[in-house]
Structure 1
């Protein structure tokens, strides 16, 4: 029924109710012989007109009555009361008589019938009278707090979700055995499996946004002991920004199970740094580079220059950003290779960006082991080209994306990142541009991460391949990594290496098992095989060298420590000299340079290592 039809329906129903209430009141208060001598038509007409005047005044015909509550009942009370008073005044002025008993009885009957007509709409919606209730899945909500009741209310109102809430689970003893929104709180987490079986639950919805990752893991394991599907309410951040609505329940994802809380950053500082400025991002089509562009767009720079080598990926992120922010921000694309030094200098001088985020790099460890010369030309010399072009273009801040593999590197990729860090730190000493680097661990969902590989192996029926059962890695999400990069730009004084304190490392084997469970499978369905460690791989990753000592806190979760530098000119000469040598010689040279310590190289002046 469209809005216009609803309005006329409500108007007609109210008119019938008013006339009926006058007739019932008259018949019940006067003998039948006297009923027809009373001015029923005049009384009814007066009441109908006055009622509709006040109904429009209180916007009774513009309310969504399927969500009616006490507030709507008060509106009905006011509209009916004032219409009765006005009718009484009209009778006194024009008829010189007021039928008080008729009006009083009419007042009570009108409130009862009009309220009933309106609240019946909510009753029909809440109880699915006009829908197919058989298709709704019995749902257990974990968490009877404000978030849980919000989910329950939305699922009750919106039957399109296909879920029917039947009970709550909550560890709060004060709530157990009580009813909330007419739904019982049937017990704590330890009784979850029992209640799923007893109530015939099809779906479990976890609705506790304050859960830390360890608590979520505990609840999720309890859910896995049942045959029910486990889902979660959307994140409050997505609800507030309008990306999703409460009833859009989502599946539990691997990022939800990481044992590390999200990082709180100083968004005001980032906005002050970015707003109305020109920003350039290299590797803008990659996983990290494209997310940096998305995050930057939230802070309204005047222009973002998307620089990348792959035209398809650059086109994709350009179209996405134009669709979301095209009316507010200018997006410019530059197809360029960071090895093309001349073009980089031309681009920097043309756009004069305030900040450069350097995300372009070769990151795949085994590929760089087999092609070490490419790690040199792209990761080292490419970084040098971008950095020196930024210096020549009077860029205010240059942020290089590094890796935890740059710490005590055992791979060509890690060594190339470490040497690139050395270069930008050295350039910071003699440039007006502030040069900093940011180290991350592994990024969930990036094209080179294990998650897409495991998902593809699961899709094909397995097996999942892992190099070693004790292999551990630090993990973070792409948005968190990108926010860290932006925070680094706003905090940069020059020469720092920013490192995210990413909590406890995650075993790759546990990650694979969680992915299997999230896919509704087990190790019996999809096998797990160990293939042996690959060249350049480490069993454990690190975030800091032993001599990068934490010193003082400068920001929540940010510390300053000490590092050492080498003679970068000599380092770059060594790198240049070995570039055309045998692959094994290149590999050995890079690792030798990158693993120099204070005991093997003269320590220069203090620099910074900041841990977020």
Structure 2
């Protein structure tokens, strides 16, 4: 039954009840139906008009009676009392005689029958909707075509565990309207009381065309309600039939970053990638595989996927062939370790790539604190091997992925990344190849990042572990990070360190709380445990040192740091003696060298 049909039914029932009560009262007072005067007819008309007036004013017809409580009974009492009082005023003013006993009995009958009709309606709904009571009461955000489609599908789909009870929409012209039996109860600013008043169990954001900023605003409002929130699949997926309208997705935590994604300059990227040979080291990792996906869209001639792990390289190669069935790009897999200088040289010589994206690295901070020699082998020696092989085989552009932990590093991982940046800048001075580095913060959803860990802990019932309540980090998504890397290759002139404007840093504990809420739990269900800062960690990270900062953007939301003086000779001396040092000594030397300000006279070696 639609809202309009329901409203009409209640008006008819109430009209009959109100109209009858005064005549029944007359009979009870005089025991004779024939004694019906014009006064009674006029009083009944005033009573009828007054009842509907006060019922509408007090919202009696808009109440959900299957969830009626004392509040609804108070509204009935007010509507009935006010209408009877109005009839009494009418009798006093017009007739100049108030029939007190008649009005009192009318009031009692009126109250009994109106309340009783609602009780009967509730019993009827309870018997009719036993299955609905088992379903989750769902609020739909967005009363447009997508939201309407969601409601239609949920109502038709008897197997769905969701049942739509209300819409939220900021469009004032839609508010208080009835759409397929579901009322638009208000705008986004009313979502708190709507969730509480209507006992909402689930929220669906049904606006596929939202921008990142709009989704951020809506997601934040939904998170505050502590109700599980989901989104509609992408519009193109619905149109192409990849997914159905009732295949909802959990709101992604990146929606809460509130930052529009970085867009690529398609023409400049296509110019240096299309129909070229591209090699990606660490192609099986989170960033490397996403770079491969995005690069394939530009139709390179060959894409060499190089990595140490055979399973991850196999997975991304199969995925690319399935995702781009019509591409002419030749996908080539190379299982190789970047620590093997000879193998790197052979690969570069054989394929002669035009572009190299160097994404292979050890990045886990605590693990590298315990294994500094492995961080040196992979992040420093590995970078030297790949960079030299690229230079010797006349690669046009070399882009290395760095980290914000390379700024004033306090960890082995950060120190080795800083040395790798210096190697890249040194190679740029020595080679015809254009060498650049790209520096960004934590990548949401990447292997070893906090999000997969938090999700696993939430699924296990908690607790969610956070190192320190004051720890903050810059965050970006995997696609954003990959776009920055690819765009850097187009902007590269040589020796730069590119940095993304990542907005405001985010507190890790806030990230954990939001993820708990988005997963459908409250902070009472899942505990947060503080474990203390781990070796090598800082409470906050920086993206550029004061000496590196350039104020202007070289591309929307992309900055370039001033090139610092490379100190390759000192790096070589450390590498030559690193096998003689224990872990503690090696860690100290790495962090000392990475933070050392080196004179420009040391910047070039033959």
Same fold (TM over 0.5): yes
Distance verdict in 2 for CA 1:162–1:528, change over 3 Å: closer
Superimposed CA distance per residue, residues 321-355 of structure 1 (whole angstroms, 9 cap, x where no aligned partner): 22222552221111111011111111111111111
- List aligned pairs for 1:448-487, cutoff 5 A: 448-487=448-487
The aligned residue for residue 590 of structure 2 is 590
Structure 2: runs of 5+ lacking an equivalent: 1-129
Inter-partner Cα distance in structure 2 for 1:509 and 1:283 = 30
- List aligned pairs for 1:15-414, cutoff 5 A: 139-145=138-144, 148-149=147-148, 151=150, 165-179=164-178, 183-196=182-195, 201-208=200-207, 209-210=210-211, 211-212=213-214, 214-224=216-226, 229-235=228-234, 244=243, 246-328=245-327, 329-414=329-414
Distance verdict in 2 for CA 1:371–1:170, change over 3 Å: same
Distance verdict in 2 for CA 1:193–1:213, change over 3 Å: closer
Contact 1:472 1:507 in 2 (8 A): yes
Structure 1: runs of 5+ lacking an equivalent: 1-131, 606-612
Structure 1 counterpart SS, 2:174? coil
**Shift of the alpha carbon at 1:174?**
3.6
Inter-partner Cα distance in structure 2 for 1:467 and 1:198 = 37
Inter-partner Cα distance in structure 2 for 1:557 and 1:247 = 36
Inter-partner Cα distance in structure 1 for 2:396 and 2:358 = 14
The aligned residue for residue 601 of structure 1 is 599
Distance verdict in 2 for CA 1:297–1:514, change over 3 Å: same
Inter-partner Cα distance in structure 2 for 1:190 and 1:549 = 40
Contact 1:463 1:527 in 2 (8 A): yes
Contact 1:551 1:561 in 2 (8 A): no
Inter-partner Cα distance in structure 2 for 1:163 and 1:463 = 29
Structure 1 counterpart SS, 2:443? strand
**Shift of the alpha carbon at 1:298?**
1.8
Superimposed CA distance per residue, residues 242-287 of structure 1 (whole angstroms, 9 cap, x where no aligned partner): 7645553211122222243322222332233222221111111111
Inter-partner Cα distance in structure 2 for 1:541 and 1:426 = 25
Question: Comparing 467-476 with 416-425, which one deviates more in the overlay?
Answer: 467-476
The aligned residue for residue 556 of structure 2 is 556
Inter-partner Cα distance in structure 1 for 2:347 and 2:187 = 61
Contact 1:189 1:222 in 2 (8 A): no
**Shift of the alpha carbon at 1:137?**
5.8
Contact 2:141 2:204 in 1 (8 A): yes
Distance verdict in 2 for CA 1:563–1:276, change over 3 Å: closer
Distance verdict in 2 for CA 1:399–1:239, change over 3 Å: farther
**Shift of the alpha carbon at 1:376?**
1.2
Taking structure 2 as the reference length, the TM-score comes to 0.71
Question: Comparing 214-223 with 326-335, which one deviates more in the overlay?
Answer: 214-223
Aligned residues: 469
Inter-partner Cα distance in structure 1 for 2:494 and 2:280 = 19
Distance verdict in 2 for CA 1:155–1:544, change over 3 Å: same
Superimposed CA distance per residue, residues 95-154 of structure 1 (whole angstroms, 9 cap, x where no aligned partner): xxxxxxxxxxxxxxxxxxxxxxxxxxxxxxxxxxxxx99697654321335654565566
Question: Comparing 512-521 with 201-210, which one deviates more in the overlay?
Answer: 201-210
Taking structure 1 as the reference length, the TM-score comes to 0.71
Structure 1 counterpart SS, 2:435? strand
CA-atom RMSD in angstroms: 2.8
Distance verdict in 2 for CA 1:240–1:331, change over 3 Å: farther
Question: Comparing 505-514 with 382-391, which one deviates more in the overlay?
Answer: 505-514
**Shift of the alpha carbon at 1:181?**
6.5
